[in-house]
């Protein structure tokens, strides 16, 4: 991660009155907030609250009906390559015939272009990212042969290889083993030291409260945003989850039967969905 250029204006992420709609349905409605440089933000909300939609809008995969997104004080399109996105595992076609190394090298395409050959710097970035996630010994394995936790580590390595200023991770803790969860959190702590801004969607309210500096609570509109202790109040949680929150020994637990967020379309490792 030593290659990141922070000579630009601090990578504050600004969203101003953004609305995203599908066939007339507002998946996100009039959302406004700012993420300071280097913050670690948990995005929390019920199924279908717009968490995945938000991330796809932030990387330009979904158009805005209205509003504006700015990075480094400039429109999204001028700094889109500095945002890395790790989608939910369920949105990826894991049978696509590529190796672990190939997937991670895809993180370099925004820098080298699709028709140019990777150079020494690109290869070094890929191997560094693989080593960071403990996947270098599996570099030549087909991605489809890996376990769920290993596949998640590969996508994290791809994001690292991109050398992002902003990292978006959609439900990275769902369906993976405890070791992968902890290695992911260790990575986030490392990125925080490198001043990389991180946004992670999660259903784990305890983790959001204990391991993140800020929480964005969504249900298509912003319910609350700020310090975890202020945002994750019983009142705010009941507003977001419509009463589907239980208090067990003083800990808030979401009473929802079906994990995951909105799934618009599947993708394969080299191509996130474009509308």
Q: Are strands 40-44 and 166-170 parallel, antiparallel or unpaired?
A: unpaired
Which residues, in sequence order, are CB contacts of 91 under 8 Å at separation 6+?
Answer: 170, 263, 265, 266, 267, 272, 273
Sheet holding 83-86, edge to edge: 83-86, 166-170, 197-201, 40-44, 214-219, 221-226
Structural domain includes residue 222: yes
Structural domain includes residue 270: no
More confident residue, 16 or 110: 16
Structural domain includes residue 175: yes
Number of domains in the chain: 1
Structural domain includes residue 73: yes
Model pTM score: 0.81
Residue 148 pLDDT = 83
Q: How far apart are the two ends of the chain, measured CA to CA in Å?
A: 31
Structural domain includes residue 96: yes
Q: Is 21 helix (H, G, I), strand (E, B) or coil?
A: strand
Structural domain includes residue 8: no
CB 27 within 8 A of CB 20: yes
Structural domain includes residue 2: no
More confident residue, 207 or 115: 207
Q: If pLDDT is split at 50, 70 and 90, which confidence band does 228 have?
A: very high
Structural domain includes residue 181: yes
Residue 2 has pLDDT above 50, yes or no: no
Residue 236 pLDDT = 94
Residue range(s) defining the domain that contains residue 105: 13-254
At 152, give phi and psi (nearest 5°): -60, -40
pLDDT digit string (tens) for 143-163? 999 988 888 889 899 999 988
CB 43 within 8 A of CB 218: yes
Task: Give me the mean pLDDT over the 12-21 stretch.
Answer: 93
Distance CA 126, CA 159 (A): 10
Domain at 31, CATH number: 3.40.50.300
């Amino acid at each position: 991660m030593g290659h990141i250029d922070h000579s630009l204006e601090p990578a504050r992420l600004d969203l101003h009155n953004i609305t995203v709609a599908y066939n007339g349905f507002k998946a996100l409605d009039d959302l406004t907030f700012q993420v300071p440089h280097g913050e670690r933000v948990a995005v929390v909300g019920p199924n279908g609250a717009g968490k995945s939609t938000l991330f796809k809008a932030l990387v330009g995969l979904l158009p805005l009906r209205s509003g504006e997104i700015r990075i480094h004080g400039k429109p999204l399109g001028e700094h889109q390559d500095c945002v890395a996105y790790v989608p939910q595992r369920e949105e990826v076609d894991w049978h696509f015939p590529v190796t672990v190394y190939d997937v991670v090298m895809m993180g370099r395409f925004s820098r080298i272009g699709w028709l140019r050959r990777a150079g020494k710097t690109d290869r070094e970035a890929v191997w560094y990212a693989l080593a960071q996630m403990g996947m270098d010994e599996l570099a030549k394995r087909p991605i489809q042969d890996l376990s769920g936790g290993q596949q998640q580590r590969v996508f994290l390595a791809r994001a690292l290889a991109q050398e992002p200023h902003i990292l978006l991770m959609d439900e990275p803790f769902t369906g993976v083993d405890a070791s992968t969860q902890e290695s992911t959190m260790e990575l986030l702590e490392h990125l925080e030291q490198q001043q990389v801004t991180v946004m992670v969607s999660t259903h784990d309210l305890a983790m959001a409260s204990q391991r993140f500096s800020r929480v964005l609570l969504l249900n298509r509109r912003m319910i609350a945003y700020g310090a975890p202790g202020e945002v994750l109040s019983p009142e705010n949680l009941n507003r977001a989850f419509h009463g589907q929150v239980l208090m067990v020994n003083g800990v808030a637990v979401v009473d929802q039967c079906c994990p995951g967020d909105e799934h618009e379309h599947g993708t394969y490792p080299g191509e996130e969905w474009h509308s």
